[in-house]
Each structure stands twice: as structure tokens, then as C-alpha cells.
Chain A
Amino acid sequence: MVQEHELEPETVDIGVNMGPQHPSTHGVFRMVLTIDGERVVDVEPHIGYMHRGAEKLSESMDYRAAIGFQDRTDYLAQFMNEQAYCMAVEELLELEVPERSEYIRVILCELNRVTSHLMFLGAFGIDLGYFGTSFTYGFRERERIQDIFEEVTGDRLMYAYFRPGGLAWDVPDNFVQMVRDVLPHTRQGLKDLDLLMTQNEIVAVRTKGIGAMSAEESINWGLSGPLLRAAGVDWDLRKDKPYSIYDRFDYDIPLGSHGDLFDRFLVRLEEARQSLCIVEQALDQLPDGPIMPEKMPRRLRGPEAEVYTAVEGARGEYGVYLVSKGGDKPYRLKMRSPSFCNLSALRDMTVGSYVADAVAILGSIDIVLGCVDR
């Protein structure tokens, strides 16, 4: 005779170690999922596999030499990092950046935002299950913009092009025409991705209502960037704390309403379009002139002071907190990385959803591990 209680199946939660070598953890992120069947009961993120001590290294070299490390944090939105760092040094040393340099910086930053969002759109499609189709769509257009960056800076990944006070060198003569030629292609690429994914019913059931965060929760977790705006919070540093010359352009800040994966996707798609809008205006207004201030000291020596500057990076608020005790090196350099802060909310978004959703939610945060671990 079988006893009554033996008929009750005994279930155990199993721990699945996702990463650091997993195709959809976007680098070397590792999360330990505790799953009950297909449901996620608990998530434990592990970071630090790519910690290279960028902050400490920046403290050991002078203000110009540390620019290279800024590229290596958020390696998909490099110009924004350089911008934040250079702005911090400029504020510390009270350097005045020439008009032309500001415009070129804005153009490159906004193009960089587009490449970063194209990367997100492609990778997000793969996380949801496209067999590479969205990725090739995104990368075709990303490649054209990447070519411009290569032409301007001489590098494809680690640009190191901005300098405290301006730029390393002027852009090539055909720069304006080059960017203008690329813009229609980029618009078409964004439209292709839009047509591929936005109206798709399967994308809708996989993303709508998944990983939702309310506006209040998002603020409490310190989210920023597209994640925060997808939840409906009207906060964009370019508009609310205008830095550089962002107060000279007309554009829209797209806001979502539900804060779920679908809104995050839509917000990024629209942001890329608005960035192209800014690029067009900046190209029209691009003045001639010097790219560095006339009185540029040979050695950059900072006074004893503390500065914090932040830019609206592709993933959120990228800030640089710089403490100087005099001399040509920062005493302390702290990077406020949006990936790290956004990633902290992963557990709240994921618990209770399915394994497949956990992958998509991680993808929607759009982390860059170089930026999380620094």
C-alpha cells in the first residue's frame, strides 16, 4: 500500500549558475538563479569579474593621461564618459571650452548614444529569441557611424579624443558631409528595427508587463536614464541640468508609462531618433574656430577642490566626482556608473518571473560590465 503522504511530490528549488560564461549575460556578469521549475525564486548577482581598478589607476596619472581609462569603463558609450571626465577637469581648472569643440563633442556624443542604443536593440532581440536578425539589423547601421568615429579619432573602440579644454585634434574637412550622408541610413535602420519588433505579437507578449517598475520604485532604487524614463519620470540631465550646449537644441524626451520591457525598448528607440535630431541641428550650427582655449597650460595643475559633473549617458547618469589636493593628479576619482546603479534593481524586477524573462530583464537594463565593475 502506498501511503497517502508519499503521493505528494517533493520538490526542491535548484540553483542555476548563469554566467560568467553565458551568452546572454552581456559580458562577465554572473547571476545565481534559484528556480522552482521555471519560476525564479531568488536572484543573486555577482559582479567584479572585470574590475580593473580604473578609479585608482586614474589617480596615479595626470589629468590628460587618465582619459584613456574613461573609454574603458562604458565601452559602448565612450564619448559620454570622456565628456563627463573632461567636464570635471575643466570645472576644476576653470577652463573655457571653445564653441567648435562643444559642438563637435555634442555631435559625437549623440551619435554615440545612437550606436549604443542600436547595440541594445540588437542584443535585446537576441535575448528575446531572434536568431541574430535584429543584431545584424542594428549592427549594419552601427557600423556606418563607427566608421565616422574611426575617421575622426583613428580608433574604433577606445577613442581618447576629448581633452580637458577641447579636443585632441580637429575633425576632418568632410566631417559634416560624412555625418549628413549617414543620417538617412541610420533613420532607415531604426525604422527597420521598429517594423521588425514593435508590432510583433510575440514580442508584445514577451515584453508587455514584464519586469515592470513603478516610478516611485525606480526613484527609490536610484535608476536613471531610459529605465527611469520608461517608468514615466521626466528626468533627463540634458534638459533638467543642461551641461555643455544642450540648451541650444530642440528635441523631445520620450517617456513611457508602464516601466516594463516594452516601454524600455520604445524609449530607447525614440531616444535614438531624437539624438539624430540633435545631431542635425548641431551640424547646422557648427561654427569655425579653435578647438582648444588660447591659454592652455602645459601642465594641468588643479587647486584644492571637489567637483562633481554628470552627463546623461546612454544608460543613465554618468557622473565623475573628482577630489583634488593640488598637483597634477586627482586625489580621488569616483565614477558614478549608471549600469551599476540600474543593475542593483535586478532582484526586484526578476523575482517571480520566468527564467526566460530573467534573461530579457537583464538585457533590458542594458548593462556594460566594464561600467559596472570599472
Chain B
Amino acid sequence: MNEMRNNPYRMRQQERPGCTRTENFAKTPQCMNDNSRMQPLTQRSLAAPYAGKSCDMRDGNKSKQQRPVWDQRKCMQNIYELGFIMVETALFLDTHPEDAEALAYYAEMKEKYHEAVRFYSDNFGPLNIHNVTNENYWSWVATPMPWEVEG
């Protein structure tokens, strides 16, 4: 038994942050212990943002657990919408390069889009490898894999 505990392979597996085992989230570095950033698998398996039921329904933690997941989806949806608007505006500007209204609208939406991406990256983890801001830990592997995200 002592040999198993000191097994280096077993220790490395527990410390690997990308693993979906819930106890691994307790072992991540201190800088990642912010509850609003990382959601253990039981919390992520909460249903859609407006649903009232989840699998982990301790009354005291109900609102605290549901709110971060809902805000994350709303922020991501906002990014999708603004990104789509930027694409549409860019397509219009391709054929109307001197349209002043379109240019002003593009500048306004660009600012909103980058603000939304920055907000999401600061609160929920990086969206791509170009914007990993955590200096102590490569948070890119700490956020859920695409196949682990609900909905």
C-alpha cells in the first residue's frame, strides 16, 4: 500500500489538471482556486441556464453553483453574437469600402467584441492560446475540454 502511494505515475495522474475526476480540482495550484473560474464536473452537469434542477442540489449552495454557469453561457452567447455582427459588417464593407456609417458601426462593434472576449477570458478562462493571461499556470489546459462543456 505504501508503494502505491509513492508511485510516481499515480501522483502525476492526480496532479494533472485536465483530468475530469472531481478531486483533481482540489489539487490545482492556488492561483486556480477561484470558484468562479473552474467548475467541477458535478456543477457543470447542471442543466440549461434556466432549469431549476441539477444533480447536486444542496440547498445552501444552489444559487451559488447555478449562477456562475449561467453567466458563462450568457457571456459566450454574447461573444457569438458580436462575432457574427463583425462578420456581417465586414462583408458589407468589402463592397462598400467608403461607407461612413458602416465604418463607424464596425469600430463600435469591434470594441464591444474585444471587451466581451476580454471579460470572458478574465473570468472563465482563455478562449484561445493567444490570450492566456495566467502567469503562474498554463490555464489553457485547466478549463474544460470542448467535449466536456454542457450544451
A and B together in one complex: no
B interface residues, Cβ below 8 angstroms from A: none
Residue positions of A touching B, CB distance < 8 A? none
